[in-house]
Structure 1
Amino acid sequence: MKDITNYQDKKILVLGLAKSGVSAAKLLQKLGALVTVNDAKPFDENPDAQALLEDGIKVVTGGHPLTLLDEGFALIVKNPGIPYTNPIIKGALSKKIPVISEPELAYQVLSGELIGITGSNGKTTTTTLIQLMLDKNSGAGHAYLAGNIGIPATTVVQKVQDDDVMVTELSSFMLASISTLRPHIAVITNIFSNHLDWHGSRENYVRDKMHITKNQTAQDYLVINWDNEEWQKLSQQTNAQVIPFSRKGLSTNGAYQQGDFLYFKGEKIIAVDDIKVPGVQNVENALAAIAVAKISGTPNEAIVSVLKTFGGVKHRVQYVTTFEQRDFYNDSKATDIEATQVALRSFKRPVVLIAGGLDRGYTFERLVPDFKAHVKAIILVGQTSQLLADAAKTAGVPVIKFADKIKDAVPMAYQQSTENDIVLLSPANASWDQYPNFEIRGDEFITAVNNLQQGKKA
């Protein structure tokens, strides 16, 4: 980490806590700043604020009082989730007080190289693949994961040395507040239409995504999905060297699929069937990671080793185990119909599906073709059980059963499976009717699968 004095004795406001806010406040304190943190949650219910107060940091909780702007702050570090419509942010900008994101602060003290990954889908998997590939390159320094993947960049940056690289997942919320952040390699996996309620319009969303490349120069690289004409046109906005990746083989000037193999600039890297995590979306993620790894000088053996062994990011079509010739996958992150469609289309073998969850007021007709093509049996849980059962009946799924919770659904799914089947948790719904979050739901699935496996061995 660089030793900078920019913030010595400067009054700085950290707006919003959670992991990134706590981490930013601690780093700023280490840099000699006079830090105030402000969080909407009341102090008595706010263990993060309580801990920071014990560390000597001023805390203001229970709301966002506009009077804070009278305290002469030189800078505001904003939690990514807080929109620009927040009165304090609007007031700060009107007073010409700079507002930055937590990754921007981390970049200011970064000693090593930054690789930044953004996109509507595939960010976390691509970020993880890149980190694993670069870390296998024994001739280089360490590669560290950071950012929207759940590890604050301001925490990670403190251990990054000159020869290291920080592989950072950057959300559109983070990128909206970019000022000087400049990845040596930027990756855009794809851009669809997400979070429009926060950004206000698709135009704003795309603009904020493209901030990942706005400070890049001709010495840098932009790795971008080439399988959409809009994304090709967006690449014209960068000053960096453009390295395309294409599952459709639309460009051979980067990473691409041709037939059953993945290539980089004409060099064969790996067979598609050798990639451990299934699905066309993971072919795209692999291509993006291959491009970054090759630019970074990573040998093919390291790239191939990772792609052959990486079982997926937890809760995202995550390979759990194989026993009695059934493969078990945890896709608890599939909290909407589209995610479950992607998961089902990832498999060529019959699927016993576990699905269901929070009723958000919609039905599931869109899943009928995918049920018909892929699902041999379905086990349903949660508020949407009957709605999903209606779709399964329309699709002609021969076995439809109901369970109380995921732990009960797993042995039922096993009973309906035969050798070479896939047992898949992909709920197509949020978890909040029965579980605090999708992670706890996925963990229950993994535990139930492990218990089932141990019971069969006993």
Structure 2
Amino acid sequence: MKKITDYENKKVLVLGLAKSGVSAAKLLHELGALVTVNDFKQFDQNPEAQDLLTLGIRVVTGGHPIELLDEDFSLIVKNPGIPYTNPLVEKAVSMNLPILTEVELAYQIAECPIIGITGTNGKTTTTTMIGLLLNADREKGTARLAGNIGYPASEVAEESSAEDDIVMELSSFQLMGIKTFRPHIAVITNIYEAHLDYHGSREEYVKAKWAVQENMEANDFIVLNWNQQELRELSETTKATIIPFSTKEKVAGAYLADEKLYYKDEYIMKSAELGVPGSHNIENALAAISVAKLKGVSTEVIKQTLMIFTGVPHRTQYVGEVGGRKFYNDSKATNILATEMALSGFDHSSLVLLAGGLDRGNSFEELVPSLKGIKAIILFGETKDKLYTAAVEAGIKMIQRTENVQTAVRQAYDFSEKNDTILLSPACASWDQYPNFELRGDAFIQAMHQLKDIEK
């Protein structure tokens, strides 16, 4: 990593722990900063804070006392999950105290190029695809995944060498806390309406996403979804070189034509050869192909890698076959749009959908067109009655309400027959029954494996 001196003897407040906060605190301590860590969780239930204390880092736990700001800090490094409406954060803003996120620190110490991927949907899949493509036939260095995908960016940057690439998934929350951050290649998969409870308005959400290119220059590249008029218009305001991708028209980048994928008129592969289903995954693949081509990856390597890529866990992930039925885990589909995208990739006449979860007040009317033609639907969780109404409106003949994902899998199996597909794509968050979407997806997979035991 770069040995920077920017933080020597400066008082820095790290606000919120989790993985990124722990990494930021350790890095700043190593860089000579006078670090104070503040986390809401009580000290006796906070192993991360206990660990940092043994390193000589000051910790304040059990709340976010505003009086901390009387201590003349030079800046705050904020956990992305803490909103700007937090009283301590609001006070810091009023004091014009710089508030960064950990990805800014990662950029400052990184010796290698950063590829930054953001967007509303498809970030993790596209990030994973890019990592695989850049590592597939690599002779020197490694493409290292980082950021919102689960690996603290500053920790990855600290471990990386000049021969590596950092492939960094970036949330809008993280991008609100950048100052000099400049990826060599940026990707925006798409922009839809999301996280308005955090950002306050769509305008602020889009502004946060678009910040990924704020410091880019003409010798940098930004890969944009040309299907979206909003991104076309925003493209006129960047200094970066634009690489468009589209599933609707031929563009001067990556595109779909006659069910084939191209990059600047070079044929790459058939869309049907992708290892993951769905029109949204064609978009993700086109974005990944654009980055791979910019980095000099050969067409053959791109094709072979994308053919065997079967998805990211919990994101339209193929998880196995039982009794001639194929099972797909899309537990990450925590909103209607994500489920609509997943449904676009399957033959509805042989599809059994499992859906339901936390009730956030949605009526699910907008999901009705995507439900039409589905063979059967099994509903669970707080929203099962609302989804039942939508399923009736869509004309689905076979509708069943059940208790949870586990019972839904067994009923889906009983409703289905050989050559059918069973898809978990809930269109809802998991928190009514499961702590997170990962555990909900794991429950789906476990229930599938239990079916295997029954079949024996």
TM-score bracket, normalised by the shorter chain, equals over 0.9
Other-structure match for 2:278: 279
Q: Report the CA distance between 1:442 and its aligned residue.
A: 0.4
Residue 302 (structure 2) aligns with: 303
Matches of 1:451 and 1:30 in 2, distance apart?
49
User: Is the aligned partner of 1:427 residue 2:429?
Assistant: no
What residue in structure 2 maps to residue 335 of structure 1? 334
In the other structure, the counterpart of 1:98 is: 98
Distance between the aligned counterparts of 2:382 and 2:96, measured in 1?
Answer: 49
Distance 2:307 2:427 in 1: 28
Alpha-carbon distance between aligned partners in 1 of 2:131 and 2:170, rounded to the nearest angstrom: 14
Q: Could you tell me which residue of structure 2 aligns to residue 149 of structure 1?
A: 149
Is the CA contact (8 Å cut-off) linking 2:121 and 2:338 kept in structure 1?
no
Q: 1:340 to 1:17 in 2, by over 3 A?
A: same
Give the C-alpha shift of residue 3 in structure 1. 2.0
> Secondary structure at the residue paired with 2:360?
coil
SS in 2 for 1:334: coil
* 2:82 partner letter: I
What amino acid is aligned across from residue 352 of structure 1 in structure 2?
V
CA distance in 2, matches of 1:454, 1:12: 55
Question: How far has the Cα of 1:398 moved from its partner?
Answer: 2.6
Letter in 1 for 2:109: V
Deviation at residue 89 of structure 1 after TM alignment: 3.2
Name the SS of the counterpart of 1:302 in structure 2.
helix
Residue aligning to 1:59: 59
SS of the equivalent of 1:76 reads: strand
1:237 alignment counterpart:
237
Partner of 1:401: 400
Instruction: State the distance in 1 between where 2:236 and 2:420 align.
Output: 45
Closer/same/farther in 2, CA of residues 394 and 228 from structure 1, 3 Å limit: closer
Structure 2: state its 5+ residue gaps: none
CA distance 1:88–1:164, change in 2 (3 Å): same
Q: Is the 8 A contact 2:261 2:269 kept in 1?
A: yes
Residue by residue over 1:12-64, the C-alpha shift from the partner in whole angstroms, topping out at 9 and shown as x without a partner, is: 11011121111111111222222101122333333322222233211112222
Give the direction of change, closer, same or farther, for the CA distance of 1:157–1:224 in structure 2 (3 Å limit). Answer: same
Equivalents in 1 of 2:402, 2:166: separation in Å? 44
Give deviations 1:373-420, integer Å, cap 9, x for gaps: 2x2122222222233233323333232233332222212212222222
> Could you tell me the TM-score, scaled by structure 2's length?
0.95
Give the 3 Å change call, closer, same or farther, for CA 370–96 of structure 1 in structure 2.
Answer: closer
Task: Please give the alpha-carbon distance, in whole angstroms, between the structure 1 residues aligned to 2:130 and 2:408.
Answer: 35
Q: CA RMSD in A?
A: 1.8
Do the aligned residues in 2 keep the contact of 1:245 with 1:287 (CA within 8 Å)?
yes
Which residue number corresponds to residue 138 of structure 2? 138
Q: d(CA) in 1 for partners of 2:69 and 2:26? A: 21
Decide whether aligned partners of structure 1 residues 65 and 415 sit closer, same or farther in structure 2, where only a CA change above 3 A counts: same
Greater mean alpha carbon deviation, residues 17-26 or residues 48-57:
48-57
Q: How does 1:185-200 map to 2 (within 5 A)?
A: 185-200=185-200
Taking the aligned partners of 2:174 and 2:222, their CA distance within structure 1 comes to 18
- CA drift at 1:196: 2.2
Amino acid at match of 2:202: R
d(CA) in 2 for partners of 1:270 and 1:317?
21
C-alpha separation in 2, matches of 1:61 and 1:323: 49
Corresponding position of 2:76: 76
Distance change in 2, residues 1:74/1:368 (3 Å): closer
Letter in 2 for 1:163: E
Structure 1 unaligned residues grouped into runs of 5+: none
Output the amino acid matched with 1:176. M
Question: What do the CA deviations read for 1:55-83 (whole angstroms, capped 9, x no partner)?
Answer: 32111122222221222222211111223
AA aligned opposite 1:357: G
SS at match of 1:237: coil
Q: Secondary structure at the match of 2:76?
A: strand
Q: 1:362 to 1:156 in 2, by over 3 A?
A: same
Provide the rounded CA distance (Å) in 2 between the counterparts of 1:173 and 1:380: 32
Amino acid at match of 1:232: R
Q: What is the distance in 1 between the residues matched to 2:230 and 2:410?
A: 46
Amino acid at match of 2:152: P
Aligned to 1:321, the other structure's residue is in SS state strand
2:379 is the counterpart of 1:380: yes
Q: Are the structure 2 counterparts of residues 192 and 250 from structure 1 closer, same or farther at C-alpha, using a change threshold of 3 Å?
A: farther
For the residues of structure 1 that align with 2:145 and 2:49, how far apart are their CA atoms? 26
What is the one-letter code of the residue matched to 2:270? A
Q: What's the secondary structure of 1:2's corresponding residue?
A: coil
Aligned-residue offset at 1:270: 0.9
Residue 4 of structure 2 corresponds to residue 4 of structure 1: yes
- 8 Å CA contact 1:227–1:250 kept in 2: the answer is no
Q: Find the aligned partners of 1:220 and 1:362 in 2 and give their Cα distance.
A: 41
CA contact (8 A) 2:343 2:370 kept: yes
Q: CA deviation at 1:236?
A: 1.4
| 1:266 match | 265
CA distance in 1, matches of 2:400, 2:93: 56
Aligned residue in 1 for 2:248 = 248
For 2:388 and 2:113, how far apart are their aligned partners in 1? 50
**Partner Cα separation in structure 1 for residue 390 and residue 6 of structure 2:** 59
The Cα of 1:454 is off from its aligned counterpart by: 4.3
Pairwise CA distance, 1:206:
1.7
Tell me by how many angstroms 1:93 deviates. 4.1
Q: Using the alignment, how far apart are the partners of 1:182 and 1:368 within structure 2?
A: 42
Deviation, structure 1 residue 436: 1.2
Aligned to 1:224: 224
Give the distance between the partners of 1:302 and 1:125, measured in 2 at CA.
18
* Residue pair 2:330, 2:424 contacting (<8 A) in 1 also: yes
- 3-state SS of 1:105 partner: helix
What do the CA deviations read for 1:221-277 (whole angstroms, capped 9, x no partner)? 1111111222111111111111111111241x1101111100000000010000111
After TM superposition, give the deviation of residue 202 of structure 1 in Å.
Answer: 2.0
1:452 matched to 2:451? The reply is yes
Structure 1 residues 428 and 41 mapped into 2: Cα distance closer, same or farther (>3 Å)? same
Q: Residue 414 of structure 1 aligns with which residue?
A: 413
Output one character per residue of 1:178-210: Cα deviation in whole Å (capped at 9) or x when no partner: 111110001111122222232222222222211
Counterpart CA distance in 1 for 2:371 and 2:203 is 35
Q: Could you tell me how far 1:94 is from its partner in structure 2?
A: 4.3
1:342 Cα deviation after fit: 1.8
Q: How far did residue 96 of structure 1 move?
A: 4.2
Q: Partners in 2 of 1:405 and 1:353 — Cα distance?
A: 13
Tell me how many residue pairs correspond in the alignment. 455
Q: Quote the Cα distance in structure 2 between the aligned partners of 1:264 and 1:419.
A: 38
Residues of 1 paired with 2:360 and 2:238: CA distance? Answer: 40
Structure 1 residue 163: deviation in Å? Answer: 0.5
